[in-house]
């Protein structure tokens, strides 16, 4: 997991504003299938938004930290029920951080 600076975090938050959540995590929590799909999405997009449904048994911050650890990604922001994750693609980076 890389540590991103506050300036880079701010830049990524700006990029994430226009993103729609591509995954929802509910009472089923984080299973292997969810991690696999998110891993593929991060590889393809680098920056993704995930929504935690109200019926989830865990807080969005806890889920964000678990996802970041499981995916070797950075938590850019947790705002309300939304989580923004970032992981650079080592072979074909799409986002150039400041």
Please give the model's pTM, rounded to 2 decimal places.
0.93
How do beta strands 74-79 and 82-86 pair? Answer: antiparallel
3-class SS letters over the chain: CCCCCHHHHHHHHHHHCCCCCCEEECCCCCCHHHHHHHHHHHHHHCEEEEEECCCCCCCHHHHHHHHHHHHCCEEEEEECCEEEEECCCCCCCCCCCC
Residue 98 lies in a domain: no
Residue 14 lies in a domain: yes
Residue 94 lies in a domain: no
Residue 45 lies in a domain: yes
Residue 13 lies in a domain: yes
Please tell me the total count of domains within the chain.
1
Residue 97 lies in a domain: no
Residue 50 lies in a domain: yes
11: domain range? 6-86
Q: What CATH code is carried by the domain that includes residue 80?
A: 3.30.110.60
- The pLDDT-based confidence of 8 (bands split at 50, 70, 90) is very high
pLDDT tens for residues 12-56?
999 999 999 999 999 888 888 899 999 999 999 999 999 999 999
């Amino acid at each position: 997991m890389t540590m991103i600076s506050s300036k880079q975090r701010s830049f990524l938050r700006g990029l994430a504003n226009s993103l729609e959540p591509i995954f929802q995590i509910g009472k089923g929590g984080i299973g292997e299938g969810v991690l696999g799909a998110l891993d593929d999405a991060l590889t393809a997009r680098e920056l993704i938004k995930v929504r935690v449904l109200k019926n989830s048994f865990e807080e969005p911050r806890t889920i964000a930290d678990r996802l970041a650890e499981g995916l070797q990604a950075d938590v850019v922001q947790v705002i309300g029920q939304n989580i923004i994750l970032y992981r650079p693609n080592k072979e074909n980076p799409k986002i150039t951080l400041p």
